[in-house]
Amino acid sequence: MAVDASEPLMRWFAVDKRRLPWRTLPGEPVDPYRIWLSEVMLQQTTVAAVRPYFETFTRRWPTVEALATAPEAEVMAAWAGLGYYARARNLVACALAVAGEHGGRFPDSEEALRKLPGIGRYTAAAIAAIAFGRRAVVVDANVERVVSRLFAVEEALPGSRETLYRLADTLTPAEGAGDFAQALMDLGSMICTPRLPDCPRCPLAGACAARAQGAPERYPLKAAKKPKPRRAGTAYWLEHDGRVLLVRRPPKGLLGGMLALPEEEPADADWSEAGAVEHVFTHFALTMRLLCAKTEAAGDGLWHPIDRLGEAGLPTLFARLAMRGAEWRTQSPLPLRNAQVNRAPRGSALSGGQGDLRMEGPAARRWEGEGTAPASEPLISEQSHSLTLPAFGWAPPSPEMGKGS
């Protein structure tokens, strides 16, 4: 079935498009840096979650050259709470490549863009089309949904992705591919939503095969999800003179390079139970138990003021555990059932080590935005509620899954 979507879609987009901080007004020049930054941030994350991060990053690092000179630890701290932390590491690597190898100018072709760290097929197409006006086929989750309904694609995701890409290619015009791609994404976010699509307002309703069938919500078809592996681990809150011991995680791997609570017992101490936190990552679910203690002698390590812990840039998992630690400080400690804590073996629940770990199910897979990150690296998708840490009044952000909603 041939579908001419461009004209009615662009008429709708001219009136009803979303106002987003990385979009320019008519007549304004497009900044490829802002397009790239927004697209990296939007991978598997909502517009609502990305907005404050984008505004913070562009105020602090307004150009790709400025970002290239930023210490990676500062970028990771500014990214804290947004999830998928390999993106932040690739962000720095890509900025260094653009500044050092391309004179501070992003390449304008998909092929060249895909050679940069952290840029896969979707991101390269989006930058080429939106920033440089190239004809490129831009397919995110919103576009997949629109196209699958428009053509009533009976093949289930993820196996149907190449089919949906080919169909999107048939729709993409030779000119104005960037605006067309953004229009399709806006349509999926605002009208052709996962539940209760607003078909009467849709500019493509007359050509939509799924609407003609009377069941647009049925699409896109999705394969049954496999159960997530489950892991369990222990974190430690060790306090001395108003400070808590933090560690910096290894540069590679899950939450790489970020500050966190230790996962191995840092000292012999009178440990107390402080509850546990349930956390969902993309490829596994985690139960992290927290043990708390005070010590009279501070050993080597990074001791961070508790009343300034909000400045540490803790990822959401450890911010939630810190909330438990803050509550423990104001309550009667719960003694451990056993008099001693078994020292954790080498490794952790996050790294996939053998210490205090339960794991079932298939191994994690890489996503297209991972660039040169290790294939074994699990990916974070933080689906937690916003929490206020009572001791220092800080609420870590809580992005949800799915770009563009």
Cis peptide before 220 (omega within 30 of 0): yes
Q: What's the pLDDT tens digit per position in 148-194? A: 999 999 999 999 999 999 999 999 999 999 999 999 999 999 999 99
**Per-residue pLDDT averaged across 207-234, rounded?**
94
Contact at 8 Å (CB) between 121 and 114?
yes
With CA atoms as reference, report the closest residue to 240 among 292, 290, 297. 297
Question: What are the chain's domains?
Answer: 6-218 (1.10.340.30), 230-370 (3.90.79.10)
62 or 383, which is more confident: 62
List, in order, residues 6 or more apart from 37 with CB less than 8 Å away.
22, 54, 57, 58, 91
Catalytic residue at 111?
Answer: no
Of 24-33, 49-58, 300-309, 328-337, the range with the lowest mean pLDDT is: 328-337
Q: What's the pLDDT tens digit per position in 249-286? A: 988 888 888 899 999 999 999 999 999 999 988 889 99
With CA atoms as reference, report the closest residue to 324 among 391, 401, 230. 391
Q: Which of 7, 39, 74, 368 is the catalytic position?
A: 39
* Packing angle, helices 32-42 and 86-101, rounded to 10: 160
345 pLDDT tier (thresholds 50, 70, 90)? very low
**Per-residue pLDDT averaged across 118-123, rounded?**
96
Q: Residue 155: phi, psi to the nearest 5?
A: -85, 140
With CA atoms as reference, report the closest residue to 4 among 203, 214, 197. 203
